[in-house]
Structure 1
């Protein structure tokens, strides 16, 4: 596994520069989608494991990580989902298993709802769920000149180390490399403009009625100590999705790919 060669490159999809990491080996394809304020680094421990049995593609969504913070992109779940399909087409992938962490779970669900023929199975890792659209007052506030400063202070209010403590149950896993990876985009001014557009454009999460129309087989994996998206969200999602099962792990938080990489890999392998 340590010898797995991961290609890292920037591609252009939908007129946006997208950073991606991939291992294309002719095996069944699996597509990885990170969450809010994150990047492909979310999957750094599981990509080498998955590459033993899958062709793997992971991307930084527009506005995040090393991808372009494009002014022209519409930062909605619909647009993110369309971009995922566009990336699949770029790599010649007709149908893939989608793995979404946190907000990436909502993106994956939107892909399955919009283009079910492109999705083999869904794996939702501590997926966001049932969040409403930003209220109108907040959306209107984003047009004031000071809002960039507000966004900066909101994101940086705790510091990266404290934020990582919130997403991990085991704080001993926090490394300088992890801090550096999560901190790097926070120094880019265009990053905050992208966040503001996300506040303006993001629809609410899929409703129970919308979820009930998604028949794609789904595996939900959760840390029982998740303080960002509590496991109760997973318990509700597994009831609303017609073809889903939920697996939880004790002494694990929101960043389940860091705390339980081997278990996540094993569950995906047996599920897919």
Structure 2
């Protein structure tokens, strides 16, 4: 793993990776236990760094970044931190790739400051509303409650990650151990970033009327067998975002960019091409 850098945004230290040269591509991670920017995109960063300047932060509350305040609204506070990071780095506008919570943050940035985003790729993003599936899913319940009850353990993490992918056999012991080490950071154990707090539950972005006026070319990718964010949660976003494309990946769970990395890299590279 490449060495990262730090930037201070409104008193919050954000750890990020800055790889390659060219048009800026911001890659925003999801929110599962042990998640970091690099671990979410370990199979993608090098590919896109050949043609882009890739900025991949650890969201505050994850990895080496400072913690998220317990009363910070989701995803609005994170969206403000990412825009602040762009300001600090002198970046006016960028393409965005966001997985799960990262997709929801990218969408929030598009709604609040549309001029900062060129194109968006959203993989199983939050912010939609399932049409027929039961929600919250077992995957969401496991994610939110990982630190509750009997507390975190490697077996609980294994159970969670098994729900993230179509083929659990693809998960390596090394991957699980890396994520467990990150999840057991004492700061994160004491203040889990996804535990509901005074800031309330995540915002229901699908209710925002501004979705129908977003100007951005948008690619929505979803794993057909996603057990965390069900496929039909994307229908409301696809229907409302005027220039959205919706691509369903077969034999794929919540980590499209990890389970089908080569295909993901090709598709997104084509979408981002000038």
TM bucket by the smaller chain? 0.7 to 0.9
The reply on whether 1:29 has 2:24 as its aligned counterpart is yes
By how many angstroms is 1:196 displaced? 6.5
Instruction: Name stretches of at least 5 consecutive residues in structure 2 with no aligned partner.
Output: 131-144
By how many angstroms is 1:115 displaced? 0.7
Other-structure match for 1:231: 231
- TM-score calculated relative to the size of structure 2: 0.83
Other-structure match for 2:142: none
Other-structure match for 1:206: 205
By how many angstroms is 1:52 displaced? 1.4
By how many angstroms is 1:190 displaced? 2.5
Q: Structure 2 vs 1, CA of residues 221 and 31 (structure 1 numbering), >3 Å: closer, same or farther?
A: same
Aligned positions of 1:182-261 closer than 5 A: 182-191=179-188, 192-195=190-193, 199-201=197-199, 202-208=201-207, 209-261=209-261
C-alpha distance in structure 2 between counterparts of 1:117 and 1:7, whole Å: 30
Other-structure match for 1:123: 121
C-alpha distance in structure 2 between counterparts of 1:100 and 1:150, whole Å: 22
C-alpha distance in structure 1 between counterparts of 2:146 and 2:253, whole Å: 28
C-alpha distance in structure 1 between counterparts of 2:27 and 2:205, whole Å: 20
The reply on whether 1:180 has 2:181 as its aligned counterpart is no
Q: Structure 2 vs 1, CA of residues 23 and 203 (structure 1 numbering), >3 Å: closer, same or farther?
A: same
Other-structure match for 1:135: none
Q: Structure 2 vs 1, CA of residues 204 and 154 (structure 1 numbering), >3 Å: closer, same or farther?
A: farther
**165-174 vs 175-184, which moves further:** 175-184
C-alpha distance in structure 1 between counterparts of 2:12 and 2:249, whole Å: 37
Match of residue 109, structure 2, among 108, 111, 114: 111
C-alpha RMSD of matched pairs (Å): 2.5
Instruction: Report Cα offsets for 1:151-199 as digits up to 9, x if no partner.
Output: 4337737611111110011222211221123212332343142436653
C-alpha distance in structure 2 between counterparts of 1:13 and 1:195, whole Å: 18
Runs ≥4 residues deviating over 2 A = 70-76, 129-132, 149-158, 194-200, 207-211
Does the aligned pair in 1 maintain the 2:71–2:197 contact within 8 Å? no
- Give SS of 1:252's match: coil
- TM-score calculated relative to the size of structure 1: 0.84
